[in-house]
Amino acid sequence: MSAPLVDIAGLVIGYDAAARQVRALDSASLQVREGETLAIVGESGSGKTTLGMAAGRLLPPEAQLLDGTITVAGVDVMQADDAALRRLRREKLGFVFQNPSTALDPTMRIGRQVALALGGQPGPEAVAALLARAELGDPERVLRAFPHELSGGMAQRVVIAMAIARAPQLLIADEPTASLDASIREKVMATLVRLRAESGASLVILSHDLRLIGRHADRVAVMYGGRIVELGAVAQVLQAPVHPYTRALLAAAAGNEVPGARLEPIQGTPPMLEGRCEACAYAPRCTFSVARCNSERPEAREVAGRLVVCHRAEEAIATGAMQPQEAR
Amino acid sequence: MRLVVYLLPRVLAALVTLFGVSVLVFLSLRLLPGGYADILLGPFVTAEARAIIAQRYGLDQPLVLQYLRWVWAMLGGDFGISMVTQRPVIDELLRRAPVTLQLALIALGVALAVGYPLGVLSGTRAAKTRKGRDFGRVIGAMGASVPDFVLGSVLIFVFSVWSLWFRVGGYVPFSTDPVGNLRTMLLPGFTLSVFGVALILRTTRDAVLRVMTEGHITAAVARGDPPRVIIRRHILRNAAIPVVTVVATYFGFLLGGAVIVEVLFSVPGVGLYIFNGLLNRDYAIVQAGVLLAAVVFISINMLADVLYALIDPRVGATR
Amino acid sequence: MPKKPRTSLSVLAVMAGLGLALPAQAQGVITWGKPAEITGFDVHVAGTVASWEMYQMVYETLLITDDELSLQAGLAESWEEESPTRFIFTLREGAAFSNGRAVDAQDVIGSIERIQNPEIASYWAHQLGEIVSMEALDDRRIVIELARPHATFLPALAHITAAIIPVQEYRDGSFDPAREMLGSGPFMVEQHNQDESWTLTRNPHYGRDGYPRADRMEVAIIPDESARIAALRDGRIDFTTFENPDAPQMLGTAGNIANHPIQTTNYYRFDVNALSEDSAFHDRRVRQAMNLALDRDAINMLVFNGTSAVDYPVPAAFGTDACHDLDTYALPRDERLERARALLEEAGQPSPQVELMASSANQVLGRIAQVAQQSLAEAGFQVTIASVPTAEYLQRVFTDGDFDFSASWLAGYTDPSMVIQWWNPNFAVWNLAFQEEIPELSDALADVRSTPASPERDQALRDICAMIDEGANLLALVSKVDYVAYRSDQIEVRLADRTGSANTWQHIAEFAPAD
Amino acid sequence: MEPDVIALEDITVTYRSGFLGGTAFDALRGVSLRVKAGETVGLVGESGSGKTTLGRVCLGLLPPTQGQMRFGGAPFGKLRQRRGQLSVVLQHPEWALNPRLRCGTSVQEPLVLTGMPSSERRERVAEILGQVGLDPSFAARLPGQLSGGQRQRIAIARALVTNPRFIVFDEAVSALDVSVQAQVLNLIRDLQKRHGFGALFISHDLAATRYVSHRIAVMLRGEIVEDGPSARFYGTPEHPYSRALLGAA
Amino acid sequence: MSGFSKAAGRLLRADALTLFGLITLVTLLFLGIFGPWLPLGDPSRIAAGPRLGAPSAQFLFGTDELGRDFMPRVVQGIRSTFLLSAIAVTITAVIGSLLGMAAGYLGRFADQAIARGADILFAFPALVAGLLVAAVMGPGQGSAITVISIATLPLFIRVVRSVTLGIAGRGFVTAAEVAGASTLRIMLVHLLPNVMGAVMVQLTYALSIGMIIESALSFLGLGVQPPDASLGSLLRQGSSYLTIAPWMVLSSGAVLSLAIMSVNLVGDAVRDALEPLKGRPLT
């Protein structure tokens, strides 16, 4: 197998805030294979959006690259010059953002926006065809519409259409369905996944919705404190989680419980790192932490067919109390 | 249809506003101490002479009646006559309107030509560097800090000592002598434009910066569009929305209120006419002038609303 | 210049439009930088200098005054004083209105009747005295009979407000003096753009052969003094006047600009409100104290840089010294201040609070007020200054009497007994709102009105001056100088050294472009 | 029998928009809903379905165009007459609290309005903060210093401080992260057991709603299309729309 | 997030321009407030020196046409122009905030009435309105304050109204309404503190406009009455003597411009601090 499409190695990124620097990524490493659907899950502040945006060097100016590299389709993203970067974005990358209503220029008709995304001088048929691929009914009408005249789901389909316009090798979707109504999330997600499959591109979904990605992703990366704490096949990770955080997350989410059962919330709050974390970032909230967890930084290890960042991974598997709940 | 639904309430509101302006100007004029009799007769005013003059111009009638007569006459196209010249005020206003319009256009032209590009430049730069930000701030703060009468006084000083090419006063219509016209109009136009440059620069800069925080700009960057293209396609149009509003307000002010500059540079425009009318207690002039200025101001703002709706399809759309 | 055929008027109109753009030296054109626009067209009604100056270009009066302020032939080539109450005027041969019709006796009678018609609201009727009859002896001769001797009758006829208008046209409705001008003067109005410019062309029927020397006069209205200075410097205007005594200095040393200060019988004055119970000046002693405490020399030195002079109720320009010996003028300032303080003490108001009002249109008045404020403070007065719009100033002083004292200036006209009538509120009825009537003074003024210039009249004036000073109701401050400036390289002018009725441009017919 | 805390009969709300109210739009059409004391009724539906409008009607913030509304068996009356009986917890933790007021001030505001003396108020605030799992020292903090979950707890404390008879939770947990969401959901459940208030839990998230609710009403375009015990929503609900909401279509 | 403490932090880390504005502003404020007690000389003493004397060691800004030392006059001018405008704008801010909140929060009729009122004031040519007020009320401080208020009131109403519209729908307002809080309580306790930021920003801009208006009125002779000076009346005084005594216009014009500029610079900084606008770079 050739080199991975995306290779993120030891990425450290901080944000300049008022009087200090907040660390969003604390040496994150991840590889995305060609043609796979990878989900990155984590709560807000876990660093998943930073990781996704870093793939296109789309971070805001106050973000600072402190260490590490990120290579996409052979291009060193962080070191590339502006022209090379733009070529990469134009030809290899496609982004789908969380809020479709802001991702479209409000003053421009959809047809023109999509045409611009296609590049060159595409005829209306080409534009309509692209919209049809994104399962937009009545593309003729959509072409003439302004963004505000579309529902959220339709707008997101337009955004998806624009993202795949130039047949990118990598699609990055940041919470693509979070702002949509529950009843259509599934369908929009299905479209996205189908288009990926048709084009053979890789798809990275950033999300906090465990059930959703459980149905659509091949692999899943769980992020906490700016690191990927568990990475493996979706079925493995969600049905037999190893990292205590992954387990707690699954136990806390409403939807998997039986009627009358009680959810088990994770006590405490997520960390706000100001420098390299020299311990396990999850330790203060972890019900399994021991002294070592608070003093030694765990490194990624392969445990039970996946990568886990936890000192006590093996013990955790063995502990009956840590039996995973039924996942759907 | 969208425009009609959007504009109709505005037209109604504008009529209410105009009614308010007319009452306000009418009442405040009647509250003014001193009247035309004083101006005409100078110190030689006696109670009898006053009464005769008041009667001559219908000023002895009850206020409400005077007001209604004025409004009624206006609806018939009669804006009253000037007490000083005994000529219809509307003729004089129409004669002067082109002068003020030209002055306003010069000022607006300069303000836009300088302020808008600088604003865009400063806005796009500001996202990148502190220097870019400060550049816009300095120009903006300086332009907004020199009142027109200060600048005007200094310019008059400069051009009365060294005549150079410009002239202070001695207006000639553009149609009769274009060069002579510009020699007298450019200086006051420039004086008026300085505030506009600052205003438009700041508004544009802020609008550009605000647009640049929006998601669709990030989306455009993510698609690999070069900055030039993003500015042209996505920023200019979106940033124009607040600029249109401010330009309209500025233009409205110029058309209705360039009084000091017209007085200073002896430009025979509407502002000077109203100013002198006020000093002379020539009620019809001030009433018609102020109302006309308000009509122009409101119309221009409404025009801006239309433009606004054309630029931004979201405006006026029902949900 | 030959008579212009009517068709050429349109050409002229186009030229007029171009006028200001063209250099002022163009054939026969002179340009006047006028500081203010007229306040009305009616020559018999308007009471402002800005209007009078323009009327003088278009209208004529029966008589005029010379440099010595003595009467000269005007529209009337001669006049006879048959008795102190009976006068015969003979109109000049060839005098004609600009429409070509000769001025006749009926025009004179009709004009004076119009002035006397209360409906017209002319203030000038008082100056003319009580006329019992007017009669045309023929087309060119008029007899006017007065009820009683009235010394100011003839001088009053020399003032522009007594202009002769074309009565025939006025009566048949083809001429409306309230909205246009038609006279027998050197120029006629061709175009008027309010607040902007006037174009006057020569009256082809003007009675004096070869005059006016200029074919056309452009008038640019330039209220701002700096702008007028600029216009004079760059040659766009040929002549103008300034209020500001420093104007000559500001015009600089440019050799082609000539300065010509004209002495006038006009002077700056304070009107003091003797009638309002609300005013500290209700008490005559407070008025007297104020009069004594005033430092007229300081006003002359500080406001006028010494170019003016202390003036008196009977203006110094008339050459009489009627008031010079009064304590107000003759005592050293220290003594005056002491007297003033004593008077205030006596009045029980050691530190009266008074407001000095002046029109904001004239900055010179503001400066006078500030100097007065400071000099009055030395006697204990607490003066606040209110500079208000002209209309408000006029209403508050002359109609409402709602003020303490106010600064303005007074036209001294051409005869001491004319200006002095201002102290008789029965005569100067516009002063009724604030002027205290002193019967003896009024009687003396009535007498002097019918006394021709003579040593007896000088003595009477001296007595009157003492009474005026005693009443301290209307104070003379310093004389008003007209600062005329013109482009000696562009224009030839004739200017009087002394004028009386704001007739600075009385010789306008003799102005001509320089070769 | 104790009357329902809140009873809506055939409520219709019509919005008028456009020039002179030319266009009419029914946000609610003939909605009937009852909430008993100690009962939580869940209200689910997507945006624009009218659930927030219904919440506002229940709170007395929006007078219905048509229909009957009773509170504790009596006509609803004015909000001031209901001081201390009603309260609300809303979405957007960052907007739930006045950023310029200390948390304690925010929490005790409903008590101030009912006229409780200040000494008692302070005790009560400390007590209620304890019940929502916060240290009494939080009273002195500004909302800016709090995390989203903490702010939502303060908002709940404010809602509970007067022991109201009825509380509306409008998207109260939607903006919270999964781990925090569970904390707040449990808190709501526990507090209801303890205080016995009636509650309307509005959310677009059926999973969270069924967890805290006894009964669930599903809204679609201004109408309630399905209404039943929440257990039914663990199985397969009847209405196709309800199934779509579960994301299991 | 607590906007104020963050904003204050950002303001403290001010850049050179803001610092310049702040220092100028503080200096002018100091001169304005304490000017009468500083040993600068009597601003109204006539004949303190020669007429129209050029700047010298004794008379830093020269003397005016009545021989007054121009420097203390400029200081007095700062006091009149700056303090008068500040008072006027502060009063206006209070009234405008209340009206704006009422319009934004109460909506319907109140909104319509207030918005129309603001429109009327806005559509009235500002300087003509100023002249009318000055003429009706009589020239002086009272009318200057009124004119500034009339001109800046619509600005406050508009801004506060739109900010209020944004806040009125927020949770804490709804919660207070449900708890039975009165309208007045909601406006004062919940809305007012949250519109203060916008009011502060508007206040600085209104202050600069107020200074321009005050000096324009005085320039036309209708503001502060002589012998008291405002920067505008000094300009009027000086403009008569531009050719021979340019220092009068130059010194008072420079001080006026500097004052307005410093207010603008500080206003920009306050605005940037309260509402940081950070567009993303386009690369």
Q: Flag whether D116 is in a domain.
A: yes
Residues C68 and C53 in one domain: no
pLDDT surpasses 60 at C169: yes
**Identity (one letter) of the amino acid at A254?**
A
**Chain C contact present for E246, CB below 8 A:** no
Which chain A positions have a beta carbon within 8 Å of B221's beta carbon? 58, 89
Per the model's pLDDT, the better-predicted residue between E92 and B43 turns out to be E92
Cβ–Cβ under 8 Å, residues A41 and A211? no
Does C contact A via 3+ CB–CB distances below 8 Å? Answer: no
Which of the listed residues C172, C205, C240 is the one where a domain comes to its end? C172
Contacts of B318 (CB under 8 A, 6+ apart): B5, D17, D18, D23
Cβ–Cβ under 8 Å, residues A283 and A230? no
Which chain E positions have a beta carbon within 8 Å of A86's beta carbon? 283
Domain of E227, CATH number, reads 1.10.3720.10
Residue A151: pLDDT band (50, 70, 90) is confident
Q: What is the pLDDT of residue D247?
A: 62
Show the domain range for D146: 94-163
Nearest to A245 by CA among A94, A64, A26, A46: A46
CB atoms within 10 A of CB A293: 21
Q: What is the pLDDT of residue A211?
A: 79
Show the domain range for C134: 63-172
Which chain A positions have a beta carbon within 8 Å of D230's beta carbon? 259
Q: Flag whether D41 is in a domain.
A: no
Per the model's pLDDT, the better-predicted residue between C353 and A75 turns out to be C353
Contacts of E23 (CB under 8 A, 6+ apart): none
Interatomic CA distance for residues D64 and D56, integer angstroms: 10
**Closest in E9, E10, E280 to A61, CB measured:** E280
Nearest CA in chain D to A45: D177
Cβ distance of E10 and A18 shorter than 8 Å:
yes
DSSP state of B232: I
Cβ–Cβ under 8 Å, residues E47 and E66? yes
**Identity (one letter) of the amino acid at E200?**
M
Nearest CA in chain D to E191: D98
Interatomic CA distance for residues C89 and C92, integer angstroms: 10
pLDDT digits (tens, 9 = 90+) for D135-172: 888 888 888 888 788 888 898 889 888 888 899 998 88
Nearest to D88 by CA among D189, D199, D190, D196: D199
Cβ–Cβ under 8 Å, residues A255 and D207? yes
pLDDT digits (tens, 9 = 90+) for C36-51: 999 899 999 988 889 9
The owner of tokens 């004096």 is C208
Average pLDDT over residues C108-131: 89
Which chain A positions have a beta carbon within 8 Å of E283's beta carbon? 82, 85-86
The owner of tokens 């040659």 is C235
Cβ–Cβ under 8 Å, residues A249 and A266? yes
What's chain E's average pLDDT?
Answer: 86
Which chain E positions have a beta carbon within 8 Å of B218's beta carbon? 280
Residue C11: pLDDT band (50, 70, 90) is very low
Q: Shortest Cα distance from C418 to chain E (angstroms)?
A: 34
Q: Shortest Cα distance from B278 to chain E (angstroms)?
A: 8
**Chain C contact present for E132, CB below 8 A:** no
Q: What is the pLDDT of residue C188?
A: 95
Interface test with C, best of E243, E244, E248 (most C CBs within 10 A): E243
Q: Which chains touch B (3 or more CB pairs under 8 A)?
A: A, C, D, E
Contacts of A146 (CB under 8 A, 6+ apart): A106, A107, A108, A109, A110, B313, B314
Cβ distance of B171 and C38 shorter than 8 Å:
no
Q: What is the pLDDT of residue E13?
A: 58
Range D244-247 contact pairs with CB under 8 angstroms and sequence separation of 24 or more: D244/A182, D244/A183, D244/A184, D244/A186, D245/A182, D245/A183, D245/D44, D245/D45, D245/D46, D245/D204, D245/D206, D245/D218, D246/D206, D246/D207, D247/A182, D247/A183, D247/A185, D247/A186, D247/A211, D247/A212
Show the domain range for E233: 68-277
What radius of gyration do chain D's Cα atoms show?
Answer: 18
- Chain centroid to Cα B185, Å, comes to 16
Q: Flag whether C4 is in a domain.
A: no
pLDDT digits (tens, 9 = 90+) for A29-52: 899 998 899 999 988 888 888 899
Specify which residues D168 forms β-bridges with. D88, D200
Q: Flag whether D109 is in a domain.
A: yes
Does C contact D via 3+ CB–CB distances below 8 Å? Answer: no
Residue C22: pLDDT band (50, 70, 90) is very low
**Identity (one letter) of the amino acid at C440?**
E
CB atoms within 10 A of CB E37: 7
C233 phi-psi bin (left φ>0, alpha ψ -120 to 50, beta other):
alpha
Average pLDDT over residues C67-81: 88
Q: Which residues 269-298 on chain C approach chain E with CB closer than 8 angstroms?
A: 298
**φ/ψ (deg, to 5) at A209:** -95, 100
**Chain C contact present for E243, CB below 8 A:** yes
Per the model's pLDDT, the better-predicted residue between E282 and E88 turns out to be E88
CB atoms within 10 A of CB E174: 22
Residue A1: pLDDT band (50, 70, 90) is very low
Cβ distance of E171 and D155 shorter than 8 Å:
yes
Q: Flag whether E55 is in a domain.
A: no
Homologous superfamily of domain range B89-311: MetI-like (1.10.3720.10)
**Closest in D179, D230, D241 to A265, CB measured:** D179
pLDDT digits (tens, 9 = 90+) for C430-443: 888 899 999 999 99
How many structural domains comprise chain D? 1
Interatomic CA distance for residues C186 and C57, integer angstroms: 6
Q: What is the pLDDT of residue C142?
A: 95
pLDDT surpasses 60 at A119: yes
pLDDT surpasses 60 at C23: no
Residue C16: pLDDT band (50, 70, 90) is very low
Q: Which residues 127-166 on chain A approach chain B with CB closer than 8 angstroms?
A: 146, 148-149, 159, 162
Residues C256 and C292 in one domain: no
Contacts of B123 (CB under 8 A, 6+ apart): B136, B204, B205, B206, B207, B208, B209, B212, B239, E279
Question: Which parts of chain B fold into alpha helices (H)?
Answer: 2-31, 36-41, 47-56, 63-75, 89-126, 130-143, 148-161, 178-212, 215-222, 227-230, 236-257, 259-264, 270-279, 283-311
Cβ–Cβ under 8 Å, residues A162 and B223? yes
**φ/ψ (deg, to 5) at C275:** -100, -30
Q: What is the pLDDT of residue A321?
A: 46
Cβ distance of D18 and B5 shorter than 8 Å:
yes
Domain of C144, CATH number, reads 3.90.76.10
Interatomic CA distance for residues A54 and A210, integer angstroms: 23
**Closest in E4, E179, E182 to D110, CB measured:** E179
**Chain B contact present for D119, CB below 8 A:** no
Q: Shortest Cα distance from C370 to chain B (angstroms)?
A: 23
What radius of gyration do chain B's Cα atoms show?
Answer: 24
Q: Flag whether D16 is in a domain.
A: no
Q: Flag whether C495 is in a domain.
A: yes
Per the model's pLDDT, the better-predicted residue between C164 and A314 turns out to be C164
Which chain D positions have a beta carbon within 8 Å of B6's beta carbon? none
Nearest CA in chain A to D241: A183
Specify which residues A203 forms β-bridges with. A37, A171
Q: Shortest Cα distance from E200 to chain D (angstroms)?
A: 15
How many structural domains comprise chain E? 1
- The DSSP H or E segment spanning C141 is strand C141-146
Residue A182: pLDDT band (50, 70, 90) is confident
Domain of C379, CATH number, reads 3.10.105.10
Q: What is the pLDDT of residue C8?
A: 42
Question: Coil, strand, or helix at residue C167?
Answer: helix
The owner of tokens 């196709």 is D240
Helix crossing, E126-137 with E192-219: angle to 10°?
80
CB atoms within 10 A of CB D92: 16
Question: Coil, strand, or helix at residue E198?
Answer: helix
Q: Flag whether C47 is in a domain.
A: yes
How many structural domains comprise chain C? 3
Q: Which residues of chain B have pLDDT under 70?
A: 1-2, 127-133, 160-161, 163, 257, 316-319
Cβ distance of C21 and B45 shorter than 8 Å:
no
pLDDT surpasses 90 at E95: yes
Residues C287 and C305 in one domain: yes
Q: Shortest Cα distance from C460 to chain B (angstroms)?
A: 26
Interatomic CA distance for residues A163 and A170, integer angstroms: 10
- Sequential DSSP letters for chain D: -PPPSEEEEEEEEEEEESGGG-EEEEEEEEEEEEE-TT-EEEEE--TTSSHHHHHHHHTTSS--SEEEEEETTEE---GGGGTTTEEEE-S-HHHHS-TTS-HHHHHHHHHHHHT--HHHHHHHHHHHHHHTT--GGGGGS-GGGS-HHHHHHHHHHHHHTT--SEEEEESTTTTS-HHHHHHHHHHHHHHHHHH--EEEEEES-HHHHHHH-SEEEEEETTEEEEEEEGGGGTS--SSHHHHHHTT--
Q: What is the pLDDT of residue B106?
A: 94
User: What residues does each domain of chain B span?
Assistant: 89-311
Interatomic CA distance for residues D169 and D90, integer angstroms: 6
Q: Flag whether D217 is in a domain.
A: no
Nearest to C59 by CA among C20, C3, C115, C133: C115
Cβ distance of B260 and E220 shorter than 8 Å:
yes
Q: What is the pLDDT of residue C26?
A: 46
Q: Flag whether E241 is in a domain.
A: yes
Q: Flag whether D105 is in a domain.
A: yes
Cβ distance of D177 and A43 shorter than 8 Å:
yes
**Residue A314: half-sphere exposure toward Cβ, Cα within 13 Å:** 3
pLDDT digits (tens, 9 = 90+) for D85-139: 888 988 777 788 888 889 999 999 999 988 888 888 988 999 888 888 888 888 8
Q: Flag whether C2 is in a domain.
A: no
Interatomic CA distance for residues C382 and C403, integer angstroms: 15
Cross-sheet strand order for the sheet of A21-32: A21-32, A6-16, A63-72, A75-76
* Cis preceding linkage at E50, omega within 30: no
Q: Which residues 79-138 on chain A approach chain B with CB closer than 8 angstroms?
A: 85-91, 93, 95, 97, 99, 102-108, 116-117
Nearest CA in chain B to E21: B141
- Sequential DSSP letters for C67-128: TTS-EEESSEEEEEEEETTEEEEEEPTT-B-TTSPBP-HHHHHHHHHHHH-GGGT-STHHHH
Residues C114 and C207 in one domain: no
Nearest to D28 by CA among D50, D56, D3, D46: D50
- Chain centroid to Cα C124, Å, comes to 13
Q: Shortest Cα distance from E163 to chain D (angstroms)?
A: 14
**φ/ψ (deg, to 5) at C378:** -65, -25
What's chain C's average pLDDT?
Answer: 87
Nearest to C193 by CA among B172, B100, B180, B78: B172
Q: Shortest Cα distance from B120 to chain C (angstroms)?
A: 38
Residue C263: pLDDT band (50, 70, 90) is confident
Residue C7: pLDDT band (50, 70, 90) is very low
Residues C423 and C303 in one domain: yes
Q: Which chains touch D (3 or more CB pairs under 8 A)?
A: A, B, E
Q: Flag whether D11 is in a domain.
A: no
Residue D18: pLDDT band (50, 70, 90) is low
What's chain D's average pLDDT?
Answer: 84
**Residue C229: half-sphere exposure toward Cβ, Cα within 13 Å:** 31
Cβ distance of B212 and E249 shorter than 8 Å:
no
Per the model's pLDDT, the better-predicted residue between C386 and B2 turns out to be C386
**Chain B contact present for E265, CB below 8 A:** yes
Q: Shortest Cα distance from B15 to chain D (angstroms)?
A: 16
Q: What is the pLDDT of residue A325?
A: 39
Contacts of B305 (CB under 8 A, 6+ apart): B6, B7, B10, B315
Q: Flag whether D46 is in a domain.
A: no
